[in-house]
Chains A and B, each alone.
Chain A
Amino acid sequence: MDRQELKEMVAQLLLEMDKPQPAKTAGSGDVLPDLTAVDLRGEYLVENPVNGEAFRRLKQKTSARLGLGRAGSRYKTASMLRFRADHAAAQDSVFSLVPPSFAEENGLVAVQTKCRDKEEYLTRPDLGRRFDEPQQAVIREACGKNPRALLVIGDGLSSDAILANAMDCAKAIRQGLKTHGIELGKTLYVQFARVGASDHIGEITGAELVCMLVGERPGLTTSESMSAYITYMPRPGIAESKRTVVSNIHRHGTLALEAGAHIAELMVTMLEKKASGVDLR
């Protein structure tokens, strides 16, 4: 291609850019369809497949982004946008707060770790495990001395997870413990909570067993996944191996109610065996 041809081509392109564009996206006032509303498990996007039905059946079993098709060596636009949308949802869930009304509406006692805001929470894990004096007094007052079991809800890294699952799970735990004759006291809600906050709560109250429901770090599959960390005699400095975890509590994983029922029985076993984590065999 010589110079002259190149010049002509650029000129042609510039001309086209000057033309008024048909109002396709911007300004029309229409709301674009929500990309994240589509269930990826049912989507198979490869063109002219040998056996698309068989692949679709396999896809039902995984949330992995498979069978997306391609344009040259790259993702198609839809796949690319969906990836970014899911990533944005995950980030939003980390950065957004559980509404202040959550604790009040559900009859929880709200406390806050030493973190002053989300920024500090994300950058200073150590502060997310400790409470200052006034907050310690609130906890002492709410939980009493040496309770057998305490239930704590912590926002952790996903506010979505807490809003979607925590209360159903907590009520099922309370109910399950009741069938074994264990009455839970007040439930704490901890803002800016790391799992280690249970250890400080254990020290403050002298609790024998603490169960913390906490939002998991969101992934690209779901931002609503919650875990339960249950620790026998939690005290600051306790080894992580002494915790029992029930993870993947969400709509597509273990349902919150059923998880709660399971956790309640686990807690009863722990109180009987006086152990949790790898000590619980």
Chain B
Amino acid sequence: MISVGVDLGTSTTQLIFSKLTLANTAPAFTVPRMEILHREILYRSAIHLTPLLGTDTLDAEAIAAILTEEYRLAGMRPETVQTGAVVITGETARKENARAVLEAISHLAGEFVVATAGPALESVLAARGAGAESLAKSMGKRLLHLDIGGGTTNLALLDAEGRIVQTGCLNVGGRLVKLNPDGVVTYVSPTLFGLDTPAVGERATPESLAPLLAQLVAALEEAVGLRPATALLRDRITDQTISTQPPVEALSFSGGVAALLDEKEENWLAYGDLGVLLARAIAASRLFTLPHDLGRETIRATVVGAGNYATELSGSTIFHRHAVFPLHDLPVAPLEKENLADGIRQGLALHGYDVPIALALPRQEALDYDGLTRLAETIADGAKGQGREVPLVVVLEQDMAKALGQALATLVPPEKPLICLDGLYTPPGSYLDLAAPVGGGTALPVVIKTLAFV
């Protein structure tokens, strides 16, 4: 499967192509288990500055031109790309025309390329792209991954098993202040309110910027739990920060600023922003008193995450009939064990009866056949109000989707499309994209997003 990853960041625009290899990893004579066995990066684009028209508008045409050229250099055509994600990250997502830009470049992507944004997904992709999961696992420590980019720092907290347990996002980045080659300040991000910021037009020096950098680094130290949290941290939070109880035991870094951590750049104005100074300040801070490591990818972590890790596979014993793939932007309706049918009715009332939604079942006690039948009856009853031609989509974690799907198939109208998937963890508030099945119909590629551009 060929996958594309595009990262439209605050400061840079990048693209990768990779090859995802699927295989059945189950031993012979057992039920199949399809997995993404191998992720090979086929092509990495150059790192382009994100083209802007003024300060608050993305230059859609220039972005499309960059991507078209990179497709040509890589020898790829949109129709050969089967999956992937275009993520719009950091401050860029807040630009006025973010959605219009995604539309302008959507023809470049293949059929199942997901356009998405949102700090939580960005944190997850950056941590995965940087290899934080295997790092936490091999260290056996509670690890916080920091992806320090131009506009924001994305946080992903991992437990000692290497699972991402929480994400956060702070307005701390290298490009929140821009300077011309003479050191004259040309831009100060409004997110820096309350800090010792320079004025636009002022000639800055490393010394004059030191108080601001100290504040930004202190905010990171507070986020990690090395200092008690104050307004410094609270004012930087874009959606949420991570919990520091139990304490963070190790750190890993990625992002453009992290790339400068071990690259001793002498000229602090090399990139015309705070990046070099911020990297120096981080290296001299309390953050480096914890065990720490650079990610496998630094500046490319998010784009590698988007290309390699945005797509997941469902479990391999699943059920689907009459469904037309791909399905885009299915809102997830999280369900509780109690009053399951009512929960389904509420989900339908909220999202509408004529659009597909993903009913996310809670964890079930070990079920026997009668329990399974009752569960199917409850679901069918709750979903009765849904349009006959609208696919009924059920997702859950436990391996029972095929049995549940077959039970449901006898209960809903025979022409109603039905999809039942397992092996998926869907956080509340997320959206699903589902692609056509792979591996002889045994598993579906799925992208779980935190924000949908419909």
Contact = CB atoms under 8 A, between A and B. Distances in A.
Interface of A: 51, 53-54, 57, 167-168, 171-172, 175-176, 178-179, 227, 245-248, 251, 253-255, 257-262, 264-265
Given A53-B160, A257-B400, A258-B317, A172 B406 contact: yes
A42 to B, nearest CB: 14
Nearest to B409: A179
Nearest to A248: B30
A259 B160 CA distance: 32
In the complex, the 4 A-B pairs of residues with the closest C-beta atoms, listed nearest first: A261-B402, A261-B403, A257-B403, A171-B369
Nearest to B372: A257
Given A176-B403, A246-B31, 10 more contacts: A57-B140, A57-B161, A168-B368, A179-B409, A245-B29, A247-B29, A257-B368, A258-B401, A259-B31, A262-B402
B399 interface: yes
A131 B403 CA distance: 34
Interface string B183-212: 000000000000000000000000000000
Q: Which of B29, B160, B406 has the most CB of A within 10 A?
A: B406
Interface in B314-338: 317, 319
A178 B368 CA distance: 19
Judged by DSSP, the binding face of B is loop
A261 B317 contact: yes
B231 interface: no
B405 interface: yes
Given A57-B140, A168-B368, A255-B400, A175 B405 contact: no
A125 B317 CA distance: 35
Nearest to A176: B406
B410 interface: yes
Contact of B31 (A57, A175, A262): A262
Contacts of A246: 29-31
B407 interface: yes
A53 B368 CA distance: 34
B367 interface: yes
A255 B406 CA distance: 15
Given A57-B161, A167-B369, A178-B410, A258 B402 contact: yes
Contact of B140 (A51, A227, A258, A260): A51
B444 to A, nearest CB: 16
Nearest to A51: B140
A262 B29 contact: no
Contacts of A257: 367-369, 372, 400, 403
Given A246-B29, A246-B31, A247-B29, A258 B400 contact: yes
Contacts of B403: 172, 175-176, 257-258, 260-261
Q: Which of A247, A248, A255, A260 has the most CB of B within 10 A?
A: A255
A168 B407 CA distance: 13
B406 A261 contact: yes
Interface of B: 29-31, 140, 160-161, 317, 319, 366-369, 372, 399-403, 405-407, 409-410
Nearest to B137: A57
Contacts of A167: 369
B42 to A, nearest CB: 31
Judged by DSSP, the binding face of A is helix
Contacts of A258: 31, 317, 399-403
Contact of B317 (A248, A253, A262): A262
A257 B368 CA distance: 7
Contacts of B317: 258, 261-262
Contacts of A260: 403
B410 A179 contact: yes
B372 to A, nearest CB: 6
Nearest to B33: A254
B371 to A, nearest CB: 9
11 contacts: A171-B369, A172-B403, A172-B406, A179-B406, A179-B410, A246-B29, A247-B29, A255-B399, A257-B367, A257-B368, A261-B402
Nearest to A57: B161
A172 B31 contact: no
A227 B27 CA distance: 14
A179 B403 CA distance: 11
B350 to A, nearest CB: 30
Nearest to A227: B29
Nearest to A243: B29
Contacts of A54: 140
A260 B402 CA distance: 9
Contacts of B409: 179
Contacts of A254: 30-31, 399
Contacts of B31: 246, 254, 258-259, 262
A212 to B, nearest CB: 14
Given A247-B29, A258-B402, A261-B403, A168 B410 contact: no
B367 to A, nearest CB: 7
Nearest to B162: A57
Nearest to A174: B369
A88 to B, nearest CB: 26
A246 to B, nearest CB: 6
B407 to A, nearest CB: 6
Q: Which of B369, B399, B405 has the most CB of A within 10 A?
A: B369
B193 to A, nearest CB: 44
B363 to A, nearest CB: 14
Given A53-B140, A179-B410, A258-B31, A172 B399 contact: no
Q: Which of A51, A167, A168 has the most CB of B within 10 A?
A: A168
Contacts of A57: 140, 160-161
A38 B295 CA distance: 40
A135 B21 CA distance: 52
Contacts of B400: 255, 257-258
A215 to B, nearest CB: 16
A281 to B, nearest CB: 11
A104 B402 CA distance: 29
